[in-house]
Amino acid sequence: MNKIINTIQQNNTFNLYMHVSPDGDTIGSALALHASLLSMGKNSTLICDDTPAKHYEFLYEKYSIVAPEKAQTAPVSIAIDCADFKRMGRSRLQFEKSPTTINIDHHFSNPSYATYNYVEGHASSTGEIIHELLKQLVITINLEIATYLYTAISTDTGSFSYSNTTPKCHLLACEFIELGIDVARLSSQLMNSRSLGKTRLLSLAISKLELFFDDKIGLIYIEQSDLAALGVRPEDCESIVDYIRDIDTVEIAIFIREMNNNKYKISMRSKLYADVGSIAQVYGGGGHVRAAGCPIAGDFNEIKADLISSAERLLHE
Ligand SMILES: [Mn+2]
């Protein structure tokens, strides 16, 4: 932490990187650090492979997020909520050009790939770590920064409902609410806002649900042709896996999305006891005990059978 603080204090220009298919944690955390660096009179550029999903747009109206190819090389690059290089996508090439790199994250599986790494696996979210960093940089948390950090923490804890929710999450929420964030508006925009296309995708996804082992394992597979037929984007698949997990009999939820050339993106969730992170790690992916993911290449039917049998083993552990 001290080395990261010194690096921030001694430099003037920073590139901040979010992960591919950006979620509320990577976006909120990056925006909080971005706004803080600007308030310190420094230059900062927000970089991401993908445009965030529409319901996050209201958060970064005053800033722009650029593709890695359009960014200039900065003396310092900071990866935010990127569990590994794969999570950074094409941005990795730009990230690695910086002489000094920083990695701020909360995934236990993070291999500490940067010059300076601040990885706290016990933190609920990267937003919680950014809050600590800003405190140490003696940045005043204003309403704007509070809004970003609340977004990061509330989205990564499923509105303070997942097992990673700690007293600290609530204490921070308390601090942000005291600063005047609009909880009702934020919740409605972040959690309860869904486009018509995404709603139709959800309907299709649920019609494709398959259940295994006394309905304890649920699986949905979405093909590229499904997305094309509905005119929706890959990131619109973001929360489908949660609908599988929410079925009362399900312990393990598996969502498979076809990418291209026999490549598949797997997202997994568990409800109470199964460690889906252990499955993701076998395939070189990452995540947490209750939420994990990985890309897998190969024959679809083999991948599906492997995932189901790995998941079944977890049911008996
Ligand atoms: Mn996160």
Distance from the alpha carbon of residue 156 to the mean position of ligand 1, in angstroms:
6
Are 241 and 267 in contact, with CB atoms under 8 Å apart? yes
Phi-psi region of 100 (alpha: psi -120 to 50; beta: other; left: phi over 0): beta
Distance from the alpha carbon of residue 81 to the mean position of ligand 1, in angstroms:
5
> What is the pLDDT, as a whole number, of residue 193?
77
Average predicted confidence (pLDDT) for the chain? 95
Which band of pLDDT confidence, cut at 50, 70 and 90, is reported for residue 3?
very high
Q: Average pLDDT in the 3-7 region? A: 98
Distance from the alpha carbon of residue 148 to the mean position of ligand 1, in angstroms:
13
Distance from the alpha carbon of residue 94 to the mean position of ligand 1, in angstroms:
22
> What is the pLDDT, as a whole number, of residue 191?
82
Q: Could you read off the pLDDT of 38-54 as tens digits, one per residue?
A: 999 999 999 999 999 88
Q: Could you read off the pLDDT of 136-150 as tens digits, one per residue?
A: 999 999 999 999 999
Task: Return the higher-pLDDT residue of 317 and 221.
Answer: 221
Q: State the residue for tokens 């359009």.
A: 70
Distance from the alpha carbon of residue 25 to the mean position of ligand 1, in angstroms:
5
Distance from the alpha carbon of residue 126 to the mean position of ligand 1, in angstroms:
5
Distance from the alpha carbon of residue 39 to the mean position of ligand 1, in angstroms:
24
Q: Could you read off the pLDDT of 230-266 as tens digits, one per residue?
A: 999 898 898 899 999 999 999 999 999 999 889 999 9
Share of the chain above pLDDT 70, in %: 100
Q: Do domains 2-190 and 196-315 have the same CATH topology?
A: no
> What is the pLDDT, as a whole number, of residue 54?
83
> What is the pLDDT, as a whole number, of residue 194?
84
- Map out the domains of the chain as residue ranges: 2-190, 196-315
Which band of pLDDT confidence, cut at 50, 70 and 90, is reported for residue 55?
confident
Q: Average pLDDT in the 311-317 region? A: 92
Residue 192 has pLDDT above 80, yes or no: no
Distance from the alpha carbon of residue 271 to the mean position of ligand 1, in angstroms:
18
Residue 82 has pLDDT above 80, yes or no: yes
Distance from the alpha carbon of residue 97 to the mean position of ligand 1, in angstroms:
24
Torsion of CA 236, 187, 123, 94, to 10 degrees: 40
> What is the pLDDT, as a whole number, of residue 292?
95
Distance from the alpha carbon of residue 125 to the mean position of ligand 1, in angstroms:
5
Distance from the alpha carbon of residue 27 to the mean position of ligand 1, in angstroms:
10
Residue 229 has pLDDT above 80, yes or no: yes
Residue 316 has pLDDT above 90, yes or no: no
Distance from the alpha carbon of residue 301 to the mean position of ligand 1, in angstroms:
30
pTM of the model: 0.80
Distance from the alpha carbon of residue 24 to the mean position of ligand 1, in angstroms:
8
Distance from the alpha carbon of residue 16 to the mean position of ligand 1, in angstroms:
15
| CATH for the stretch 196-315 | 3.10.310.30
Q: Could you read off the pLDDT of 181-191 as tens digits, one per residue?
A: 999 999 999 98
Q: Average pLDDT in the 71-80 region? A: 98
Distance from the alpha carbon of residue 299 to the mean position of ligand 1, in angstroms:
30
| CATH for the stretch 2-190 | 3.90.1640.10
